[in-house]
Amino acid sequence: MTSSVADPPTLPQARRKVFLALFTALAIALHTFEFLLPSPTPWFRLGMANILTLVALFLFDGRAAWTLALTRIGVGSLVLGQLLSPGFFLSLAGGVTATALMTLFHRLFPRRLGPIGISTLGAFGHALGQMTLAWWLLVRHPGIWNLFPYLLLAALLTGVLNGLAADLLLGMLRRHRAFAEERAGAELN
C-alpha cells in the first residue's frame, strides 16, 4: 500500500511501521549472529530472534508478529545462504508452529499469559514443528521421537529465558515516549 497526499498516514501508523521495521532488522541480525555462534548440536539454537517476535506481539498484534517471524526466517535464510535448504524448511515449520501458538494463546488469554508463558508455548511449538517436519521429510524412523523430550527440556529453558528478555524489553519500550503517547491516546478514547 502506498501513501498519497490525499491519504496521509497518521503518526501512530507511521510509528508502528518504523518500529516493526526496526524489530525485523534486529531479529534478522540476531538470527544471523546466533547462526554464527558455536552450538553443541547442529540444530540447537537459543532462539534469541524470537524475543522480538514476542515484543511485536505484545506491543502491536498477531499480524505484526507473523510479519516479523516470516520475514526474519525468509531474509535470514537468504542472508545465510540457506534459502530452500532443509534447514530453511525446519526453521519455517518451527517458526510457523511457534507463531501460531503464541498468537492463538495471546488472543485467548491476553491477561493470564505474559511474555514468559507465551514464549515457552512458542518454544514448545517450535520444537514440535521442527520435529514433525524432520520426521516427515528427513528421518522416517520412530526412533527420532526419542529426542523429543530433550528438545522439550531445551525449549522450556530457552522459552523462559527469551520470555524474561522480552518482558524486560517490553518494560523499557512501554516507558518510551512513543508508546506512552499511544497508550495515553487509547485511554482517552
pLDDT at res. 183: 57
Rounded to two decimals, the pTM is: 0.87
Rounded Cα distance between 125 and 118, Å, is 10
Rounded Cα distance between 33 and 69, Å, is 16
Per-residue model confidence as pLDDT tens for the chain (189 residues): 555 656 666 877 888 899 999 999 999 999 999 988 887 766 678 899 999 999 999 999 999 999 999 999 999 999 999 999 888 999 999 999 999 999 999 999 989 999 999 999 999 999 999 999 988 988 888 888 898 899 899 999 999 999 999 999 999 999 988 777 665 555 544
SS3 assignment for the chain: CCCECCECCCHHHHHHHHHHHHHHHHHHHHHHHHHHCCCCCCCCCCCCCHHHHHHHHHHCCHHHHHHHHHHHHHHHHHHCCCCCCHHHHHHHHHHHHHHHHHHHHHHHCCCCCCHHHHHHHHHHHHHHHHHHHHHHHHCCCHHHHHHHHHHHHHHHHHHHHHHHHHHHHHHHHHCCHHHHHHHHHHHHC
pLDDT at res. 8: 66
Query: Could you tell me the CA-to-CA distances from 62 to 23, 102, 143, 145 in Å, in that order?
Result: 14, 8, 35, 31
The residues pairing with 4 across neighbouring beta strands, listed in sequence order, are 7
Phi-psi region of 139 (alpha: psi -120 to 50; beta: other; left: phi over 0): beta
Q: Which domains does the chain have, with CATH numbers?
A: 11-188 (1.10.1760.20)
